[in-house]
Structure 1
Amino acid sequence: MKKKIYVNGKFLAHRVTGVHRYAIEIVKKLIEFGEDVEILVPPHMPFASNPFPEVLIKEVRGYKSRLLWEHFSLPAYLKKQKNYVLLSLCNIGTLYDKNQILCIHDMSYAVNPSWFTKSFARYYRIMIPRLAKRAKRLITVSEFSKRQITEQLGIKYEDVSVVYNAPADKFNAVSTSNISYSKDDFFLFVGSMDPRKNINLIIDFFSKPEQSHQKLVIVGAKIKSFNEVNFQIPSNVKVLDNCNDDELAALYRRAKAMINPSFYEGFGIPVVEAMASGCPLILSNLEVYREIAEEGAFYFDPYSTESLSAAVERFQHTQEDEMHKLIDENITRSKDFSWEKSSYALLNVINQA
């Protein structure tokens, strides 16, 4: 008999970031597969987005506070249910349900708490270790994050499963014949404007007089759980803080390369989106980026403007046929990551649990 899959739908109150996109795409696929899915939300919760059929959304009575609802009202409702699993896919879940599968995306709150507001970092420091111990099963988004979770939280390696992120369908090139190798004259950055993303490095780079002829488009917005990032935008940099997926897909296809200077990531959805779109990559030298892109990027030290400059120089001096080959290989590699594969991997975890 199939388990009923309840989804902790509190995340639908938040602006869509990589973490929330993960939950949305996974749940969409579970619904497509014909699984018995119901998305549980607090009463009178304002939705930032809702890509799911209304018939699958259920308001669970209880606290209006989303935090109190998650820890008390949600488990009280689930106590009356049988043969189910609860999916909490956005780092935090409830402390009081024994049938919960929890996704911890990364350990950034422990690696560098100063990236976050004090209240956010404190809450994660208190909650994540407790949730990790109480969850029926843990999943995460990369082998890199799995190692960090097991090492820092004292969880057995075999008790954490990797369920990768993936590009949404609209970013996927059907084949290399659909790719335009002729690009527009701008670089692209995609990510939230928070200290972990290290956006100051590329602002410094594009602010240099010798780079004034280079153009950069930034797609991202401030996220309230992170500390402020302050910088002055030079005239050759354009910021788009309200860009839908269709517009973003067009930017990936047109940009001559995406630059991502992050200090730390658990996965990095823009990397695989760019790969799938045929957009070359200039990336900080992170272990997880090498796990995803392998040798398909120009890597640099995220603490050094000179290293970024050298990577851009290598990119610009790459022969045309070599660049075409790199783009083709990245498109092929991106097909290793799909929401269908990831959702089947999650179903395996659900069945084992």
Structure 2
Amino acid sequence: MRVLIDARFTRTDHHDGISRYGASLIEALAARAEVTMLVSDTRQLALLPDVPYRLINSPLSPAELFVARRLNGLRADAVFCPMQTMGSLGRRYPLVLTLHDLIYYQNRTPPGFLPLPVRLLWRLYHLAYWPQRLLLNRADVVVTISETTRSLMQRHRLTRRPIRIVGNAPQPGSAVRDPQAPVEKTLVYMGSFMPYKNVETVLAGMAGLPDYTLHLLSRITPQRKRELEDLVPAGARVVFHNGVSDDEYALMLRSATALVTLSRAEGYGLPVIEAMALGTPVIAADTPIFREVGGTAALYADPDSPEDFTRAVRTLDDPAGWKERSAAGLAQAATYSWDKSADSLLEALEEAAALHAASRNARTKRAQNR
């Protein structure tokens, strides 16, 4: 099967969630199909696997409205985009689009790296569901990354198209931590500092954990850092790293007591499964998506209760309890892999090709009967 995959959402310096999702699927699917990537900046190739590519316009360019005209000539059996915004005007190929989550309907602050005009459109777009329906219904098949998000999509009737699951997964090849090695009294947070991530409750919970150090690993703006620093309880130890490499991240996870997140909304929550894959326990907000991804392995806390978070951390003070959570996390992480996700994506692409052919044949018959 000849597949075009839109890799234009790949970052040029470091992966974010969508960037890693697309790159990982490309690498796994390339072992199963003839894959060509679409990129808009050759610097993206540094974070992408070594497969053939085509250089086309940016997905934020006005030319995106007509990108299908360029893709038609490439004669792919199917096209996959890890977002839902790909232009499709005049397309003559099967198309699979992706919706990761519905976070921004309740939290309308757009990602800061987007240009100002795009951020303004972003806010307007998320004021109602009908623009999302217009985008998704242009596809033959829609994929999302969790059962939780699929249920929300169905509840809000976001598309008439089949919705399939192509999940996230931990990166392969990472060395699992030694369960006999000393466990440092450190807590690790990996994620943005947008309001819905609820880092404030984690900070408040540190008031009851003076013997622990909380490491906030992600990049942060000076203004947001000052806001959060003002919330650090007296006596609490909190370190702002303002970005770490993948190797540094893995190294900190392998020695930490737990990865922590009290985010109120996620499409998947990739750091949860990344930590579990290394054998590091997880403390997460008690929400449907974290229950889905973390299963019975994670510890859960009320995202509105700093005290509940503190109690969850304290349960890991017991070495036997810590080892039990570590082993359970490894077992839970093993249920996810990019190979499984690539198999699911290939099935979705084949389904899209069949639906597209059936639709084309139906149109031909109607035209003949006129």
When normalised by structure 1's length, the TM-score is 0.85
State the match for 1:52 in structure 2: 48
The farther-off stretch of 193-202 and 110-119 is 110-119
Query: Is the Cα contact below 8 Å between 1:95 and 1:131 reproduced in 2?
Result: no
Aligned residue identity for 1:76? R
Instruction: State the distance in 2 between where 1:10 and 1:78 align.
Output: 14
Deviation at 1:103, TM superposition (A): 1.3
Counterparts of 1:10-89 in structure 2, within 5 Å, are 10-13=8-11, 15-31=14-30, 33=31, 35-42=33-40, 45=41, 47=43, 50-52=46-48, 56-60=52-56, 66-72=60-66, 74-89=67-82
Instruction: Quote the sequence identity (%).
Output: 22
| Offset from partner CA, 1:110-136 (integer Å, 9 cap, x none) | 233257655423245575321111111
Matched, 1:143 2:140: no
Aligned residue identity for 2:240? V
State the match for 1:159 in structure 2: 162
Instruction: State the distance in 2 between where 1:110 and 1:129 align.
Output: 13
Deviation at 1:185, TM superposition (A): 2.1
Pick from 227, 232, 246 the counterpart of residue 229 of structure 2: 232
Query: Is the Cα contact below 8 Å between 2:168 and 2:268 reproduced in 1?
Result: yes
Counterparts of 1:128-139 in structure 2, within 5 Å, are 128-139=132-143
Corresponding residue pairs, total:
334
Instruction: State the distance in 2 between where 1:54 and 1:69 align.
Output: 27
- Alignment gaps of 5+ in structure 2: 112-118, 353-370
Aligned residue identity for 2:108? P
| Offset from partner CA, 1:241-288 (integer Å, 9 cap, x none) | 231211111111111111111011110000000111111111100111
When normalised by structure 2's length, the TM-score is 0.82
SS in 2 for 1:165: coil
Larger radius of gyration, structure 1 or 2?
A: 2
Counterparts of 1:260-279 in structure 2, within 5 Å, are 260-279=261-280
- Decide whether aligned partners of structure 1 residues 222 and 47 sit closer, same or farther in structure 2, where only a CA change above 3 A counts: farther
SS in 2 for 1:231: helix
- Decide whether aligned partners of structure 1 residues 170 and 240 sit closer, same or farther in structure 2, where only a CA change above 3 A counts: farther
State the match for 1:220 in structure 2: 218
SS in 1 for 2:43: coil
Moved over 6 A (4+): none
State the match for 2:320 in structure 1: 321
Instruction: State the distance in 2 between where 1:9 and 1:250 align.
Output: 28
Instruction: State the distance in 1 between where 2:259 and 2:97 align.
Output: 31
Query: Is the Cα contact below 8 Å between 2:58 and 2:64 reproduced in 1?
Result: no
- Decide whether aligned partners of structure 1 residues 53 and 266 sit closer, same or farther in structure 2, where only a CA change above 3 A counts: closer
Query: Is the Cα contact below 8 Å between 2:132 and 2:158 reproduced in 1?
Result: no
State the match for 2:357 in structure 1: none
Counterparts of 1:292-331 in structure 2, within 5 Å, are 292-316=293-317, 319-331=318-330
- Alignment gaps of 5+ in structure 1: none
SS in 2 for 1:258: strand
- Decide whether aligned partners of structure 1 residues 89 and 244 sit closer, same or farther in structure 2, where only a CA change above 3 A counts: same
Matched, 1:94 2:91: no
- Decide whether aligned partners of structure 1 residues 51 and 7 sit closer, same or farther in structure 2, where only a CA change above 3 A counts: same
Deviation at 1:194, TM superposition (A): 1.3
